[in-house]
A and B are shown apart, each in its own frame.
Chain A
Amino acid sequence: MTEQGFRYISKPRRVAEDRRFVVGRGRYAADIRRPGELAVALVPSQHPCARIVSIDASAALAMKGVRYVLTGEELAAATDPLMVGVDAPLVKRYPLAVGRTRYAGEWVAAVVAETRALAEDATEKVVVKYEPIEYVIDGEAAIAPDAPLVHPDHGSNIVLEKRFVWGEVDEDFAKAPHSLSYRVKWGRSSTVPIETFNLVAEWNPWQEILDVWASIQMPKYPDQIARALRIPYTSVRVHHDVDVGGSYGVKRGIKHTVLAGYLARTLGAPIRLIEDRLENMRAGDAHGPERLFDVEMAYDDDGRILSMRMRALDNVGAYIGRSPLQLGKPVGAIVGPYKIGSVAYHAMAVLSNKTPQEAVRGFGQSPTNYAIETGVEKVAEALGLDRLEVRRRNFVKKDEFPYLIPSGTSYDSGDYDAVADKVMAQIDWDALVAERDRLRGEGMLAGIGLSACLEPGGGNSAFEPLLNEKNLTTTWMESVRINVDALGGVTVAIHTTSSGQGHETLVSSCVGEVLEIDPDTIRVVRPDSLASLPSNSPVGSRMAIMMGGAAYRAAHKVKAKLIAVAAKNLDVAIDAVSYHDGNASAGGRTLSWMELVTICHRGYHKLPAGMDPGLEATDVMQVPGGERLPEQGRTQMYPCYSFEFHAILVVIDPALGKPDIRRYVIGHDCGTVINPHIVKGMTLGGIAHGIGASLFEEFAYDEEGQLLTQSFMDYLLPSSHEVPAVEIVHHVSPSPHTVFGQKGSGESGYLGSPAAISSAVNDAVRPLGIRFDALPIRISAIGDAVAEALEKTEGLQ
């Protein structure tokens, strides 16, 4: 099927979800009100690490409207620890601190009252006596032999350490004429959705069921709640028909849900837990990777990178869930778009007394791309070669796909040179260089930034068994059900929440394409978790591939049934029937959609022998290529690999230090685009997120272990002033592994923009002998470094 041959796919059709959002009719978890509900506020730890000597809640409980104060001791006795994603069973995690606090802001007690305001008032009356304990904030300090242990029972601050050697790394380094080494740091930031994590939980003791409305984006969410609360899966009903106000990875909320679920059961009342911004920033447990890379690259005279050694040390904070796994996903694109022949990868996840991390857009890929791209630029600089030319010399070429990288993953398709060519044409490279040089001539610091990277898509969980031999996960399925009713209407069920990805539009487009009916007439519903087929939620840029794939396959099952019914009633062979616009024809006779539907719903006597009545189909789809466990440290990670190429111009007024992005062009290839509006929005939003991560956003801590950036006054999110107009140029390299040739795009833009911005800023300040090797590169850091460099220059004159 060619792109031009599509009826609805790739067409700039309106996004169905948008109609409810523009009138304020999105239905978010905080909009759910239940009769008799009570509100929760949290008592935060003042210390990064302390023994909890005592908690005196008597004054709080004496306040009017206060119903309950829950401590970690009570909760831990009644629940099981939250799931840990790696093999570290003694790193126990509960929703409230038990015995000791491990980061500043950690929730020590929960106050329940008739209103949130009363609960907040009462938190100030809960008296907690602490005995401070030695703490560790820095990731490298945490692996020193004498470092204070965050979880003494675990016996170490290292929760994951893996060494992989793919290929003849030592030999390749020995043979290479050149090598270089460098260190870069990815600062601790996150996606920070405008909606905090919210949930309402209600226990019905007569039916023994916990109803949950939550702003959730979490694979296996009901399973984890049920296990921790020690109740059956059938006693948890998660309502998926809740809109999620942004997530981009982080809305995992297990600790919140176990806490609220326990309170709902204990108090027999619906519980609202709506984080305020402060609770969200310091104890929503939703920070992103904080990663130190030590990299060596071996290369030849032409700039071809022969081998790479990479150590990635991630400071994961005080507790772990899935966060250490973010060191595993990048294994599937560990060489980026380049033909690096061998790689040694040493991954370490390290505990510290900081807020725990959660999954963040890209699941570790964007930091890794930043580390690789920095090296490519250093190789070019060392050889005095053009940065673009070095990238081209290392690119996997169009005719080399499928391309097997050293870590065992096969890239599906691409044409990196063609995308780079399009970007160069769009930005007019020679004119851009001239403009940079003109600006430099005017006394400005001007720099051009480039980056090239991959977006793995199709999200399975192959990194779980790769990092933990006890984990035997080889499926990460997604499901769709289609029901055609007796009036001929089509309803499609999906089995997860969405946080802005447009899944209703995705599935209606795919089903409409196959059944040749207008997607706008298709109703999309979200059954609750007990009525749902298996889903793994929208993670890992997977839904176009997996939910779109399941929708396509289910629609084909419906279509096959319609054709079989037509064949029987037209008395012809199945392959003699042609299907068009919902009708089926053979030999000049046609059975209309309604006639076929009526037979299925009313005319059992007209159905082929053995066929079930009704007209519905389900599809539970396996991730393509994800069938096998890793072998000898190698695995097929995700099935699809999108490509992006960024070229930007940054100008810095040396007196201000503020980087101004004057031009931003991205070339993007995610295979066949299902909805152009959605893919464009993902890419533009991803770039904005990358601008934040590279220039503004950081969860900064002081030496006392206190989080300094706790509000939007100091954790700076890019506004419409900081994000420039971005030009996108498209290319389509269809994936051979997907139903329409689509790939993932949910992380696009974000995966390459930090590398491009770092490249541009460093190009701008290079004439002053300055180099920034850590993100974010804050205005203050640029301003200070530039002032110091200029002072030196002037001093010499």
Chain B
Amino acid sequence: MKVDLNINGVERTVDVEPRTSLLDCLRGELALTGTRAGCEHGVCGACTILLDGEPVRSCLMFAVQADGYEITTIEGIAPAPGELSVVQDAFVEKHGMQCGYCTSGMVLAAHALLMRNANPTDEEIRDAISANLCRCTGYGQIVEAIRLAADNLAQSNVFPAERVR
């Protein structure tokens, strides 16, 4: 069936089986492969996307359910080709990753956190990423990266809603 999806600010129409998950739709139909499949039962968070700004597991949602929402995937985060968002830059600065597989979900979870909480404590950061599993880093450098991103954002001069980018 046909469904209209607003993805990273662009309207896309896709024709999918009703049982197609949003994850499979993004990766398969739309070639937005930055969203990863990890467990496909809603535990690992590798498939995290933002739905109206809130982190959601795209493996637990049908593509047809996403009609009418603003979907943000990792491809929609960098401000321009070759550039990095403040959060992405902080992940690089602190090496908040190794294999990169959980990174898309982690970056999106961090964006969602910093949109609603400009100055999170380490405990709040750990809470915000606790639904995203990482097997490489032990989370330490990811927490450091999000803290650095918050610090860097606090020193910037942009409006809160736009700050994260």
Contact = CB atoms under 8 A, between A and B. Distances in A.
Contacts of B129: 720
Interface string A261-281: 000000000000010110000
B92 A712 contact: no
A2 B110 CA distance: 39
Contacts of B120: none
Contact of B141 (A192, A502, A677): A677
A712 B39 contact: yes
Contacts of A195: 36, 38, 46, 99, 101
Given A33-B31, A681-B138, A721-B127, 20 more contacts: A17-B100, A18-B97, A19-B92, A21-B103, A24-B103, A28-B36, A31-B27, A194-B36, A194-B135, A195-B101, A246-B101, A684-B139, A685-B136, A688-B135, A688-B138, A717-B135, A719-B130, A719-B139, A720-B126, A720-B130
A373 B55 CA distance: 43
B100 A117 contact: no
A245 B101 CA distance: 5
Contact of B138 (A243, A500, A501, A685): A685
Given A17-B100, A195-B99, A22 B92 contact: yes
A192 B97 contact: no
Contacts of B27: 30-31
Contacts of A192: 135
Interface string A678-692: 101110111111000
Nearest to B92: A18
Contacts of B15: none
A723 interface: yes
Contacts of B46: 194-195
Contacts of B58: none
A783 interface: no
Contact of B41 (A24, A711, A719): A711
B137 A685 contact: yes
A423 B36 CA distance: 39
B163 to A, nearest CB: 18
A419 B134 CA distance: 29
A15, A194, A243 interface centre (most CB from chain B within 10 Å): A194
B139 A194 contact: no
B6 interface: no
A92 to B, nearest CB: 32
Interface size class of A (residues with CB under 8 A): 35 or more
B120 to A, nearest CB: 13
B41 A194 contact: no
Contacts of B7: none
Contacts of A191: 135
A194 B98 contact: no
B63 interface: no
A726 B126 CA distance: 14
Contacts of B137: 681, 684-685, 688
A500 B136 contact: yes
Contacts of B19: 117
A568 interface: no
Contacts of A725: 122, 140, 143
B102 interface: yes
A712 B46 CA distance: 13
Interface in B85-108: 88-89, 91-95, 97-104, 107
* Dominant secondary structure at the B interface: loop
A193 B95 CA distance: 19
* Dominant secondary structure at the A interface: loop
Q: Closest 6 A-B residue pairs measured CB to CB? A: A24-B34, A21-B100, A500-B98, A245-B101, A500-B99, A688-B138
B135 A678 contact: no
A713 interface: yes
A23 B74 contact: yes
Contact of B100 (A248, A500, A685, A687): A500
Contacts of A726: 138, 140
Contact of A194 (B34, B74, B130, B133): B133
B85 to A, nearest CB: 8
Contacts of B118: none
A175 interface: no
A25 interface: yes
Interface in A465-505: 499-502
Nearest to B129: A720
Nearest to B31: A33
A685 B101 contact: no
Nearest to A725: B140
B33 interface: yes
Interface string A1-44: 00000000000001101111111111010110100000000000
Contacts of A117: 17, 19-20
B49 to A, nearest CB: 11
A615 interface: no
B40 interface: yes
Contact of A685 (B77, B88, B107, B135): B135
A23, A195, A682 interface centre (most CB from chain B within 10 Å): A23
Contact of A20 (B100, B101, B143): B100
B44 interface: yes
Contacts of B143: 720, 725
A274 B20 CA distance: 17
A244 interface: yes
A502, A685, A717 interface centre (most CB from chain B within 10 Å): A685
Contact of B88 (A23, A31, A500, A711): A23
A194 B95 contact: no
B75 interface: yes
B88 A14 contact: no
A248 B135 contact: yes
A18 B102 contact: no
A193 B133 CA distance: 10
B138 A723 contact: yes
B41 A277 contact: yes
Contacts of A717: 44, 133, 135
A194 B40 contact: no
27 contacts: A14-B93, A15-B95, A18-B100, A19-B84, A22-B88, A22-B91, A22-B92, A22-B97, A22-B107, A24-B77, A30-B33, A117-B19, A195-B36, A243-B99, A243-B101, A246-B136, A500-B99, A500-B100, A678-B95, A680-B95, A681-B138, A684-B138, A685-B134, A685-B136, A711-B39, A711-B41, A723-B138
A246 B122 CA distance: 26
Interface in A716-744: 717, 719-721, 723, 725-726
Contacts of A19: 84, 92
B135 A246 contact: yes
Nearest to A31: B33
Contacts of A15: 92, 95
Given A23-B78, A194-B44, A501 B98 contact: yes
A524 to B, nearest CB: 16
Interface string B38-72: 11110110100000000000000000000000000
Nearest to B104: A24
A500 B96 CA distance: 11
A24 B73 contact: yes
Contacts of A25: 34
